[in-house]
Structure 1
């Protein structure tokens, strides 16, 4: 059979092929091979374009997530190497990773064993600070500052500034020479020494950092709470009750003023609430806005029974969970280290402790692992530096359980 002629249709249409035409096998194979080759090239091109599009979208998503990521998340990722290295040190004593971070400048300021141990990881440090802040300690109402030096200085100007209405012809009154007191608060080393068995540390399910943070925080909290109230200032903070207390009628700077209850070791009979009212208004108005009471549980048990002349209780419990109770509308801090009611005891304090008492501390907390001193246990020597003292003697008043 001869191959039929091809005729061009209008507009360059394909040639007409009779239905009964049988193409040779070789031509069919050639056509199919070309078609499959072109189709494969087309598939490869589509896949390449889709992959490029996916890569661009992934890149955009990463940039968007990076920009939207909270600062805390970034900080956690940045602190992860230090936390992992610190965990390894606590469990096995391997400090190579910590030293490596120190050389790279990643371990905060430094982590040098010669200075008393390695810096704890930020997450553990934040846990300890959170517990200290939430405990029933004067820290909860005091002024807390972070310092890098060995002491913190407070400059207090308690001069009565001269002021008056000026006239065009009259002379202005000269202001008196300022009376500035410099109060220095030295920092002391606070330590804790929890211990754990090596077998417990080898258990991967044991949260060594959480356990250590809890033990250290409990020890620090109890030591601090006592020192801020009655510490003698020798190798520890100086408590506000350690300062000389004088009758508020003769109060002078450098002392704390007190109000007597009118009865030895008790409130005056029939006039119990009067001493509380007098104590409140013995404090200057500028301090009362942020003032609070400080007493222990036994004293609180006696005070909460008090009523005013109309039979209303002076004490009111907090309306919400975590809100402190109030006495005459002012919050009450229950600090168990305050003295009990007794003869001449200063069992109740009232004042603006944010102005009146300052807690100064270094932000770093160090841990030194000691596997030798208490075998088979491992000791963890934790240290931080903290100090405290009265920074404004006019901001705190005391209630003395005495006749005068």
Structure 2
């Protein structure tokens, strides 16, 4: 009876916390002095999250104790799973709040004046009526397109860094052509020991290999009615930026992980041993570590994964996985009974596994035989995203009257930078 009452209280507490923070998850974090209050709200979320984790661990330990006594209880197992699911939601709320704090920091302080106000005003006029001032033809293309103003282009890029996990993690390079090639030295220099007067024959010399990062065209095609555009109260740049951000982040998130290189980036997972691009990089493929079970994760496999990465690459290392994988890991303990997964303990900090931060990447595979659900390493040194500078907007008021479409394009590519700084967990014995 006591156990049931404690569970009910814990579940009610979690439900209350979720209700209190559900609305907050979709609200923008304010800037300036009010941001202090926003930080306080994140702290409250973290407090509730840690209370939920404490309740989960008590219930899970009780479940394990019942199993050892031969009294396995399906109801108890269901309670544990329910609390675990609520923890996933609370942690997601904390992560979302942290992202909004980063976005506020990125975009804050830009209201002091546009660097290119005249052009931005013309850009807005083009949005509303299709009008273009001849003197401002630097944004005008022969087909009626417009290059985005500096501030607008940058705001989209900044927001993509926040909402697209791979952009936030990986290195980025702006290019002015269709592709970008990088040379990699393949170590081959040799040496030898000789006597004072012995001849010195020629020794081996390093060679070079290259990898080309081609771009594909990413597009969004949002639409608005002409009446909406005529309404001067509408912030058109903010509206279009939001539409573009949503579409671009969705497409990029998929491509940076599993893209096949056909008019899109080569995804990170394709460079893992056994993947379609395993032989593409001059330094080889991303090596794998077995999980220790045919179709599941084990604590030993996770520990092996972390220790497989050389120490010099662990300073900025973190793990990427999806929420289902995190849910499974929360029940795992080391040999001394300590839980491997730890929740966020302060604003701006991620959940951790074995002391390393976790980034929730929805496109990562689920746990299954032969899948690669976790990648660990220094992604800034491991994967490169290349951006063709500039966002182009084509205003189309004819195709779908009374809607005006804003066909927006950006060329982007990506590929493996250094396989040595990344390791993948492969589910298998």
Normalised to the residue count of structure 1, the TM-score between the two structures is 0.72
Distance 1:84 1:264, change over 3 A: same
Alignment: residue pair count: 317
Match 1:256 to one of 286, 295, 298: 286
Which residue matches 1:281?
307
Match 2:386 to one of 349, 357, 360: 360
- Aligned mates of 1:328, 1:169 — CA distance in 2: 56
Distance 1:101 1:298, change over 3 A: same
Which residue matches 1:380?
406
Mapping 1:36-115, distance limit 5 Å? 76-95=113-132, 97=133, 99-102=134-137, 110-114=138-142
Q: How many Å apart are 1:317 and its aligned residue? A: 2.4
- Aligned mates of 2:111, 2:372 — CA distance in 1: 49
Which residue matches 1:392?
418
Which residue matches 1:37?
none
Deviation per residue, 1:3-27 (Å, 9 max, x gap): xxxxxxxxxxxxxxxxxxxxxxxxx
- Aligned mates of 1:174, 1:364 — CA distance in 2: 50
The 8 Å contact of residues 189 and 205 in structure 2, kept in 1 or not, is answered as no
Mapping 1:4-403, distance limit 5 Å? 76-95=113-132, 97=133, 99-102=134-137, 110-114=138-142, 117-159=145-187, 176-246=204-274, 253-267=283-297, 272-403=298-429
Q: How many Å apart are 1:385 and its aligned residue? A: 0.8
- Aligned mates of 2:170, 2:178 — CA distance in 1: 20
Deviation per residue, 1:212-258 (Å, 9 max, x gap): 001101111110011000001101001011235159xx999432211
- Aligned mates of 1:327, 1:163 — CA distance in 2: 43
- Aligned mates of 1:166, 1:314 — CA distance in 2: 53
- Aligned mates of 1:287, 1:172 — CA distance in 2: 37
- Aligned mates of 2:249, 2:163 — CA distance in 1: 7
**SS at 1:380's partner residue?**
strand
Q: How many Å apart are 1:286 and its aligned residue? A: 2.3
The 8 Å contact of residues 368 and 382 in structure 1, kept in 2 or not, is answered as yes
**SS at 2:135's partner residue?**
helix
- Aligned mates of 1:312, 1:219 — CA distance in 2: 41
- Aligned mates of 1:164, 1:123 — CA distance in 2: 58
Distance 1:77 1:297, change over 3 A: closer
Q: How many Å apart are 1:121 and its aligned residue? A: 1.6
Distance 1:164 1:140, change over 3 A: farther
- Aligned mates of 1:402, 1:195 — CA distance in 2: 48
The 8 Å contact of residues 156 and 392 in structure 1, kept in 2 or not, is answered as no
The 8 Å contact of residues 246 and 258 in structure 1, kept in 2 or not, is answered as no
- Aligned mates of 1:149, 1:401 — CA distance in 2: 40
Q: How many Å apart are 1:265 and its aligned residue? A: 2.0
Normalised to the residue count of structure 2, the TM-score between the two structures is 0.68
**SS at 2:139's partner residue?**
coil
Superposition CA RMSD, Å: 2.8
The 8 Å contact of residues 136 and 333 in structure 1, kept in 2 or not, is answered as no
Distance 1:291 1:377, change over 3 A: same
- Aligned mates of 1:300, 1:255 — CA distance in 2: 26
Distance 1:292 1:75, change over 3 A: same
**SS at 1:265's partner residue?**
coil
More moved, 278-287 vs 251-260: 251-260
The 8 Å contact of residues 296 and 337 in structure 1, kept in 2 or not, is answered as yes
The 8 Å contact of residues 116 and 366 in structure 1, kept in 2 or not, is answered as no
Rg larger in structure? 1
Runs (4 or more) in structure 1 with deviation over 3 Å come to: 72-78, 160-176, 250-253
The 8 Å contact of residues 273 and 285 in structure 2, kept in 1 or not, is answered as yes
The 8 Å contact of residues 220 and 407 in structure 2, kept in 1 or not, is answered as yes
Distance 1:179 1:289, change over 3 A: farther
Which residue matches 1:62?
none
- Aligned mates of 1:311, 1:396 — CA distance in 2: 28
Q: How many Å apart are 1:319 and its aligned residue? A: 2.9
- Aligned mates of 2:379, 2:327 — CA distance in 1: 23
Query: Structure 2: where are the runs of 5+ without partners?
Result: 1-108
Distance 1:117 1:323, change over 3 A: farther
Distance 1:356 1:168, change over 3 A: farther
The 8 Å contact of residues 246 and 256 in structure 1, kept in 2 or not, is answered as no
